Amino acid sequence: MVALSVQAQELKQSIQGVVIDNFTSAPLPGVNIIIIKDSTKLGGYTDEKGHFIIRNLPIGKYTLKASSIGYANYQTYIDLSSGKAVNLEIMLTVGTSELGGVSIKAYENKTQPINTMALIGARSFTPEEANRYAGSYGDPARMAMNYAGVLPVRDNRNDLIIRGNSAFGLQWRIDGIDIPNPNHFSASATTGGPITIINTNLIGRSDFFNGAFPAEYGNANAGVFDLHIKTPNIEKREMWFELGWNGLEFGSEGPIIKGKNASYIFSYRHSIANIFYDVAGTKGKKVDYQDLSFKFNFPKTKLGSWSIFGMGGKSHIGLNEMEYSNKDRIFATYGEILDNSTSTGVLGITNQLFPNKRTHITTALSVTGNTVLNIVDTFAIPQRDPFLWATENTNEIKYSLSSIFHYRINDNSQLVGGGVYDHYVMSFHDLKYLFGDYVYFTDTSNAQADLLQLHIGYKHLFGNRLEAYIGLHGQYFFMNNSKAIEPRFSLKYIINKKSSISYGLGWHSQLQPKMMYYVQSRKQDGDFVLTNNQLDFTRSIHNALAYNYMFNKNLRLKVDVYYQHLYDVPIQSTQPAYSTINFGTEYYVERKDSLINVGTGKNYGIEITFERFLKRHFFYLFTATLFESKFTSSDHITRNTAYNGQYAFNAVGGYELVFPKKHVSMLFGLNLTYAGGSPYVPFDVAETLKYGRAMYDWDHAYEVRREDYKRISVRIGVKRNYKRFSTETAFDFQYRGDYTSIYQERINVTTGEIVDTRDMGFYPMANLRINF
């Protein structure tokens, strides 16, 4: 490994990393590495394995540049602290085209996705962004809520509503493996939750897609979060301790055996909310969660490079309004007792082979699973005898085998193909007390189903200006022989060295939530029959056009327009305003029977992004979204979807004030959000009182809206470097007041009183991190 040294200082640290080909992931030897601080420059080269390390650097701000013949130049900014070495994974892109003697990549977009096949609808991000944005709490999903086209709907959940689509249409992926909902306190058929299981301390540079994604992504209709676990430090063992908004955390990374290439990284977190409840003497509330994430790397073995990674989380919440005082209870005559437990787990092993410099093959074997156990009791006052109202017991395990190959035909042509086979083992049991009797909506154990996906994609560069991509994705669901053939197409035209225009067209299909296939209906003779087991995919066609203008390499303007047509959406003919297009608005997805794939929908809008990337301690991002989201059901009436907020505006920025002589820096961040209120189905008070359960006015579904959503978030932080460790302290202050979105809407089934719960007004959070 090539190593450089400078004069040791009292506070010093290392910059290290690996340089790889952005398409084949092959390590690149002989890459020129230059680091710059003020007028000082140091240089060196990567070794035969693509590694480099620069030791004994004084802490501070650096610019790092990487260059190699036949590849576009790379540049990044580094904040070097004493407690933790900087460990980089640098991806170089083949070729630098010339236009009139000027490099057309002179102002390359810094959000260029890792996936080189994506010409539109994608941007990369770093975990530092999730930690830098005020109000994000180190959560990639909450960070993405600041992007154009993403609508914030609730403060207490991080569901991502992308271009008016249900949050269920989002696919989460880690290291090439599709994973279940990676959030604590998650609900069935959702992809969000109050607290993320994903730990940004383990995440490297990753991609976010908001539509028209390449053919390798399937079984998703809205977007993709393609996350990558970072490469651990192979030089020395490092640790960190953190106490803050995501709990109490301890983590470590480093070589498994000193001097060897094998390395590890892991982190464990445990909630602290239960401690605050105990200290405050709060009755009726119990909150507890914990999660573990890890990865072991074994590069350059005789059988290729191997990695083993995992992520898992358990959570439990208990709310007992019977123990509340009269002033804390929402209703004077009625209450609920909730007991909810969830768990999510991912375990995968991957193998990477590099048969030659042009080919990269990745094969993965994984098992993922999630469970939801929910019990809801109700009681009336003064009787106060708990009564079982509803239960849910969901278990879903998926065994997957996948393989994908990347082949560079030449410098202008790339080919990607592969497939994945999923085997599901599932159990679904849930009941609810309706009209004087308990009704089992699902009641099945050890149900099994299989899904096969195949894909191929080809990208070609025509001359210096035009790139084209064409791909095909296919799916086959063995349970009912449903199939989907999905062409994907995109173009990118470089107008000049500062601007480009892109277009994307793609067909996308997604299975229904698995429990919907097992919803049962009672026949007149008392027997039960499955009415949804022949449901087909929900399908959509994405059209998108984007214009990107780089004022300079740190400032850009981007404008997107899009139109999406959704069809084969499951609806219920007996309730025309019902459509699965609105999945995810509540914590529990209603198990409707007798669904048919004849519903449609449409999303269209314009998105504007004005962004200054971090430079000289300062960044900002302004986004504006104007859109419409509609659906049509069996009565052929076009209605608002539950996510048709119509507009959203975001402003986020930050500044770092540095005191180099004191080894201290102060961080200031601000986040402003204003978004349109979401349509909803109002309660039917008369029917609620008649039947003693919450009933809805479907005749006026989605005609009324909640109030507009407004939020202000302020972040203040301090970083301090010591000789052997560093500290980071941050305070987040969010204010919503009475004008914010509703936390929860409830109706008293005994009196008909409706209450909008808004208990997230002024919401301070603190975070302390120690690196050593």
| pLDDT computed for residue 735 by the predictor | 61
Instruction: Please compute the mean of the pLDDT values over residues 436-448 and round it to a whole number.
Output: 89
Mean pLDDT of 637-660: 93
Report the percentage of the chain scoring pLDDT > 70.
Answer: 92
Per DSSP, the three-state class of 158 is coil
Torsion of CA 184, 189, 191, 196, to 10 degrees: 0
Q: How confident is the model over 342-359, as a mean pLDDT?
A: 93
pLDDT digits (tens, 9 = 90+) for 247-302: 899 999 999 887 778 899 999 999 887 766 666 556 667 888 999 999 999 988 88
**Cα–Cα dist 571/698, whole Å:** 14
Q: What pLDDT is attached to residue 276?
A: 66
What is the number of alpha carbons within 13 Å of residue 653 lying toward its C-beta?
13
Residue 175, in any domain of the structure: no
DSSP result, 731-745: EEEEE-GGGS--SEE
pLDDT of residue 463: 87
Q: Residue 2 is encoded by which pair of tokens?
A: 């090539």
pTM of the model: 0.89
Mean pLDDT of all residues in 548-575: 94
Number of Cβ atoms within 10 Å of the Cβ of 476: 14
The per-residue pLDDT for range 212-252, each reduced to its tens digit, is 999 999 999 999 999 999 888 888 899 999 988 778 999 99
- Looking at 221-225, 391-395, 493-497, 762-766, which range is the least confident one? 762-766
**Which range (267-281, 494-508, 656-670, 692-706) has the least confidence?**
267-281
Rounded mean pLDDT of 505-531?
88
| Domain C-terminal end among 76, 96, 116 | 96
Q: What sign results for the dihedral spanned by CA atoms 98, 102, 103, 105? A: negative
Name the residue type at position 28. L
Residue 726 vs residue 436, higher pLDDT:
726
Asked if the model's pLDDT at residue 671 lies above 70, the reply is yes
Give me 159's structure tokens: 């569901």
Q: Report yes or no on 715 lying in a domain.
A: yes
What pLDDT is attached to residue 584?
A: 80
Residue 176 covered by a domain: no
The predicted structure's pLDDT at residue 589: 80
Taking residues 514-543, what's their average pLDDT? 89
% of the chain at pLDDT higher than 90: 48
What are the E-state strand segments in 59-125? 60-67, 74-80, 86-92, 98-99, 102-103, 122-125
Residue 393 reports pLDDT greater than 90: yes
Which of 73-77, 127-131, 649-653 is predicted with the least confidence, judged by mean pLDDT?
127-131
Interval 318-323 mean pLDDT: 82
Query: How many whole angstroms separate alpha carbon 48 and alpha carbon 588?
Result: 54
Confidence of residue 24 (pLDDT cuts 50, 70, 90): confident
Output the average pLDDT for the chain: 87
Give 102's Cβ-side CA count (13 Å radius). Answer: 10
Q: Is residue 192 part of a domain?
A: no
* Higher local confidence (pLDDT), 741 or 772: 772
How far is Cα 619 from Cα 142, in angstroms, rounded to an integer? 18
The whole-angstrom separation of Cα 660 and Cα 681 is: 56
| Phi then psi dihedrals of residue 130, to 5 deg | -60, -30
Q: Is the N-terminal amide bond of 386 cis, ω within 30° of 0? A: no
Residue finishing a domain among 96, 113, 137:
96
The SS3 of residue 287 is strand
- Average pLDDT estimate for 205-211: 92
CA distance 84 to 82: 6
Nearest to 471 by CA among 147, 214, 144: 214
* Residue ranges in 34-152 assigned as alpha helix (H): 127-132, 140-144
Residue 729 covered by a domain: yes
Task: State the residue range of the domain holding 74.
Answer: 1-96
Those residues with Cβ within 8 angstroms of residue 525's Cβ, 6 or more apart along the chain or in another chain:
none
Question: In the chain, helix, strand, coil percent, each to 5?
Answer: 5, 60, 35
Can you give the pLDDT at residue 600? 96
N-term to C-term CA, the chain: 24
Which two tokens mark 488?
């994907």
Residue 206 sits at φ, ψ, to 5 deg, of -140, 175
Output the domain CATH number for residue 58.
2.60.40.10
Characterize the bridge pairing of strands 2-5 and 51-58.
parallel
- 509 or 154, which is more confident? 509
pLDDT at site 279: 60
Per-residue pLDDT band for 85 (boundaries 50, 70, 90) equals confident
Instruction: Reply yes or no on whether the pLDDT at 546 is more than 80.
Output: yes
Q: Within a domain: residue 167?
A: no
763 — pLDDT class (breaks 50, 70, 90):
low
Q: Where on the phi/psi map is residue 745: left (φ > 0), alpha (ψ -120 to 50), or beta?
A: beta
Over residues 184-190, the mean pLDDT reads 84
Tell which of 40, 64, 96 closes a domain: 96
Task: Count the alpha carbons within 13 Å of 103 in the hemisphere toward its beta carbon.
Answer: 10
CATH code, 463: 2.40.170.20
Which residues are within 8 A (CB) of 469 and not within 5 positions of it... i.e. 6 or more apart? Answer: 117, 119, 214, 457, 458, 459, 488, 489, 490, 491
Decide the pairing of beta strands 170-174 and 223-227: parallel
pLDDT: is 284 or 684 the higher one?
684
Question: How many structural domains does the chain have?
Answer: 2
Instruction: Name which residue leads in pLDDT, 596 or 5.
Output: 596
Residue 460 has pLDDT above 80, yes or no: yes
pLDDT at 109: 56
What integer pLDDT is reported at residue 283 of this predicted model? 66
Give me Rg for the CA atoms of the chain.
26
Residue 483 has pLDDT above 80, yes or no: yes
User: Is 119 among the domain residues?
Assistant: no
The three state secondary structure string of 616-685 is CCEEEEEEEEEEEEEEECCCCCEEECCCCCCEEEEEEEEEEEEEHHHCEEEEEEEEEEEECCCEECCECH
H-helix segments, 81-228:
127-132, 140-144
Q: Is residue 519 part of a domain?
A: yes
Q: What is the pLDDT of residue 47?
A: 87
